[in-house]
Amino acid sequence: MYIPANFQLTDQAQAVAFMQRYSFATLVSIDQQLPIASHLPFSVAAEGSRVRLTSHLARANPQWKSWAGQDVLVIFTEPHAYISPSLYDKRESVPTWDYIAVHAYGQVRPLDSEADTARALQQLIATYEPAYQAQWDSLPESYKVGMMRGIVAFEVEVTSLQGQQKLSQNKSVAERAAIATHLATSNDSAARELAPYIQ
């Protein structure tokens, strides 16, 4: 990812917090020299400097068949917003787009065993709806095994994180305040979510 120096997000804890908040991400790998992608929910865990991503995709999705030994890319992004030049002091201005994005690179490790798949599902349930765990636990074992056979669970051990916060840092304090106020009152929920980051 091209990242101008003043837009770099270098704090790992901040990047991880962003990934955890916006954890529906895009997994990109290569199949026969072409990039392929799946849009998946991730559980993001950090232990010291180690970051691990856990997810699963449908077994019918062919992406998992070609990723052995590959470094993959997982893209976390949101929120974002169009920034009108009407918000700048100078008339000689052009529109832009403000956003935050984190690219996580790492190698995929399939979770092949039933126990590992169950553990991955438990992590995802804990991330997205902890209250559902009791319902999942109460389901017939044959049903749960059937569901787990229909997915491929995996982990990505992150080897590199790249982050960008393009938040009008190249503008004056007054311009940034005007942008944040404008976005905070927008009808677009993504724009409203971006406003506190600019402030």
Domain positions in the chain are 5-169
Q: Residue 103 is inside which H or E element, if any? A: strand 96-111
- Tell me the C-alpha to C-alpha distance, in Å, between residue 75 and each of 22, 100, 102, 161: 10, 11, 6, 10
What DSSP letter does each residue of 45-57 carry, written as one string? EEETTEEEEEEEE
Range 120-137 average pLDDT: 96
Residues 6+ apart with CB under 8 A from 42: 19, 23, 24, 25, 53, 54, 55, 74, 76
Q: Is 50 exposed, middle or buried (0-12, 13-18, 19+ CB in 10 A)?
A: exposed
**Measured distance CA(124)–CA(42) in Å, rounded:** 7
The predicted model scores a pTM of 0.93
Range 24-39 average pLDDT: 96
> For residue range 44-63, what is the model confidence (pLDDT) as tens digits?
999 988 999 999 999 999 99
**Measured distance CA(66)–CA(31) in Å, rounded:** 6
* Band of pLDDT at residue 68, cut at 50, 70 and 90: confident
Three-state DSSP state, 44:
strand
pLDDT of res. 92: 87
Pick the closest to residue 55 from 67, 46, 45, 42 (CA basis). Answer: 42
Please say if the pLDDT value at position 82 is more than 90: yes
Could you tell me what percent of the chain has a pLDDT over 90?
Answer: 93
Mean pLDDT across the chain: 95
Pick the closest to residue 111 from 69, 157, 155 (CA basis). Answer: 155
* Band of pLDDT at residue 148, cut at 50, 70 and 90: very high
- Architecture per CATH, 5-169: Roll (2.30)
Three-state DSSP state, 167:
coil
Please say if the pLDDT value at position 199 is more than 90: no
